[in-house]
Amino acid sequence: MKIDPLGNEAIVKVSELKTILNQLPNDLDPDVVMGEVWLPERLVEAQLDDEMLFLTFDNAPEEGEGEEEGRGFVEHEIELIRAQILNILADDSGPKTKAEALLALITLAHERTSSEFIEILGSMVEELSS
């Protein structure tokens, strides 16, 4: 986060963003995201209007908005869930063990908020890959 001389959060201009982007290696094409590392919200649209660049991200509504269960999952969160289910199904264990793992996953999703579930699932994936 950039801080201005008065201690306020500074606004990043497009020229500064272009400088950062130009420093990326040519063979690197990362997704543009915002938010937390464990729950990134990906850029899905950009629109220039006069002197402002509007960016639209795939963020879902906040947990407290509307119905308690109304948040749902965005596309990359669904991919994370799908990958975890495929890991369970690809495991060498028997059907009973796989059923227990799937039941644990479903129970966790039911008992937690959407964002808590994705955070826990992301932590599990990180632990398995390290």
Task: Determine the pLDDT at residue 69.
Answer: 44
Residues 6+ apart with CB under 8 A from 66: none
Task: Determine the pLDDT at residue 66.
Answer: 46
pLDDT digits (tens, 9 = 90+) for 75-91: 888 888 998 999 999 99
Look up tokens 């543009």; give the residue. 32
Neighbours of 87 (CB within 10 A): 13
Q: 4: number of CA atoms within 13 Å, CB side?
A: 7
The pTM of the full predicted model, rounded to 2 decimals, is 0.47
Q: What is the mean pLDDT of residues 34-51?
A: 83
Q: Do 40 and 30 form a contact (C-beta atoms < 8 A)?
A: no
What values do phi and psi take at 9, rounded to 5?
A: -65, 125
Task: Determine the pLDDT at residue 19.
Answer: 92
Task: Determine the pLDDT at residue 76.
Answer: 83
